[in-house]
Structure 1
Amino acid sequence: MTLDFGVDELLPRARGGGVLKMGLAKLDESEWLQRDPDLVARAEGFAAYPEGIQLSPESEAPGAELTMMLGLSGGLPEAARAHHEDMCLLTLRPGEDQYRLVGAAVAWPSDWTPADKLGLPLRALHAPIQGYEEQLASGVDNFMAKLKPGAIYGRCNWFIAATGDKRWVAEPPEQAFAHVTPENAGETLFVRSERQTLRRLPQTGAILFTIGIYIAPFGELSQSNQQRLAAAVASLIEGEGDRRGAGAYAGALIGYANRREETS
């Protein structure tokens, strides 16, 4: 398995800090989407967050192509409800060189609002990410332009949250992590990883971006992953740590990881 499913399995493949990188792995068809999704959880997620479905007219044709490819009928929402992964469609308008978000079916967003992003080009979509424009934007644009139908690529990331809820809306860090200490960080800090994939639909040429959400309490991770995250939190690039609220939880996370290593 090139890019497995689950936080402990994904973390060794995620960027640890420093310069932003896409960190792509080429996937086989069998590795694309999670098998045996919890469809009850998916239905509950969309019922609780109906505004997670945002569709423009440009999403209609690729949405229909996607569902046909998956052996379903309907459009993008039906595809996302039938799988573990949230799904987004991006298309390239004539005369433009950046793909735009034209459809989203997202039950479990990681601190973003699909309605605010619909219609935006890639660079505007990623504007909140410190360093994206300088370090990653050109590489992403080139990758998207060259992506061939049939090829599937995946990557993963991580966030530290103060909740295990699948739909995550970040609170001010000083408030969200006020209760976290080196003693309780294993139970009060949650590691959230997105397993993301990209593939081009052959008929419409749209690009499908999938986001599989996996969450685990920090204390349930392997010791090696706890140490990996402790090192990563300490080395986040300037500005990115602020965006992630690292200053409010870093001491507790690192302290917990070090205490566990000392007692192992």
Structure 2
Amino acid sequence: MSDDPLPFLDGPWRLSMGLRRLEPDDWLRVDDAHDAQMRLRDRLLAERRAEVAAALPGSEAGCAETLALLLEFLPERFPERWTRDGQVMVDRRNGRRVALDGEPPLVIAGRLVQEDLCLMRKGPDGYELSAAVLCFPSHWRLAEKLGRPMAGIHAPVPAFGERLGPTVDRFMAGLDADRPVWRVNWSITETDELFLPGDRAQRAFDPAEPVGSGLFLRLERQTLRRLPQSGDILFTIHTSVRPLGDAIVRPDHAAALAARIREMPERMSRYKGFHLMGMPLLAWLDRLAAAQVRVAAPG
């Protein structure tokens, strides 16, 4: 799990971009899940390539620029792990070797990092998803989003079009190459699987099931940066998942998460699945939050 602050601690729930300035050295992450995630990425690219990788004509320059950027960044930022040996990138920690030829550039790039890579290219209706290596989708399919503008990509998100869509379009149009940004998206899921291309499972959560082990906190650390040569925007997604009981151990964190869930409009709550898991989840969070009150109360 990332060391970034939990996003639901920031105050009342609101539909916003929640962007922060990105420090150049903090662009991409390597965490304890690195080796396991890279094995899964390699397997998905071998067995389900059509589902996890795609590129439209016209995206070639941005894809090549993305790979070139990674080949410069990784050995410089993580010299203890990455080194280049001719046309091969070598992971010093585990001996894994990634050939730098023989596959499309963005696919090669997707074998080098834990992050999913999505390339946004300017089109007639704003920035469109022109290419991606998407191994860890959270309830969306690459084939259904490829070539669509931001409004189309986020159409299932309640109120996105009327409340956030114009803001996102203006931001994308004005993003400077020297001012990358990041944000964190969060969700509660019923599985720790990373590859979730289908719709959210519509099943009622069993109140008898232990919430702390039966539900998971999924965090997506997302970055956006304009590629200076092609002008495309590279969107990266670093995904981490852990049991909710491991992620939420402090009473004040439990209270904050419960508050954010209760503050969501009904449409957003249903979109995130809280209409199914909400009652047992909130009861568990309230019990954990109440522990702080008991400790603080006079004896």
Q: What's the TM-score once normalised by structure 1's chain length?
A: 0.88
CA distance change for structure 1 residues 35 and 172 in 2, over 3 Å: closer, same or farther? closer
Partner Cα separation in structure 2 for residue 35 and residue 119 of structure 1 = 30
- The size of the alignment, in residue pairs, is 254
Q: Give CA deviations for 1:148-183 in whole Å, capped at 9, x if unaligned.
A: 11221001111111101111244443x2x43344x6
Is residue 84 from structure 1 mapped to residue 114 from structure 2 by the alignment? yes
Q: CA deviation at 1:203?
A: 0.4
Provide, for residues 178-219 of structure 1, a one-character-per-residue CA deviation record: whole Å limited to 9, x for no partner: 3344x6101101111111110000000000001111111111
Partner deviation per Cα, 1:205-255 (whole Å, 9 max, x = no partner): 000001111111111123233222211111112311111121111111111
Matched, 1:148 2:192: no
Secondary structure in 2 aligned to 1:227?
helix
Q: Structure 1, unaligned stretches of length 5 or more?
A: none
Work out whether residues 148 and 200 of structure 1, in 8 Å CA contact, stay in contact via their aligned partners in 2. yes
Task: Please point out which of 71, 83, 101 is paired with 2:129.
Answer: 101
Higher relative contact order (CA 8 A, sep 6+): 1
Instruction: Flag structure 2 segments of 5+ consecutive residues without an equivalent.
Output: 72-88, 90-99, 293-299
Encode CA deviations 1:37-85: one digit per residue, 9 max, x unaligned.
Answer: 3232331343454211111112211000111111174511111221010
Aligned to 1:185: 211
Separation (CA, whole Å) in 2 of partners of 1:180 and 1:91: 45
* Structure 1 segment 55-74 matched on structure 2, within 5 A: 55-71=55-71, 73=100, 74=104
Aligned to 2:85: none
Give the superposition deviation at 1:263: 4.1
Letter in 1 for 2:150: L
For 1:91, give the aligned amino acid.
R
**What secondary structure does 2:17 align onto?**
coil
1:52 aligned residue: 52
The sequence identity of aligned pairs, in percent, is 35
TM-score by length of 2: 0.78
SS at match of 2:4: helix
> Are positions 1:11 and 2:23 aligned together?
no
Which residue of structure 1 lines up, in the alignment, with residue 80 of structure 2? Answer: none
- In structure 2, relative to structure 1, the CA distance for the partners of 1:57 and 1:45 (3 Å cut) is same
Alignment-derived partner of residue 24 in structure 1: 19
Whole-Å Cα distance in 1 between the matches of residues 42 and 174 of structure 2?
35
> Which whole-Å CA distance do the structure 2 matches of 1:207 and 1:90 have between them?
5
Matched residue, 1:226: 254
Question: SS at the partner of 2:266?
Answer: coil
Match 1:196 to one of 222, 227, 239: 222
Matches of 1:99 and 1:239, distance apart in 2: 26
Match of 1:34 among 26, 29, 33: 29
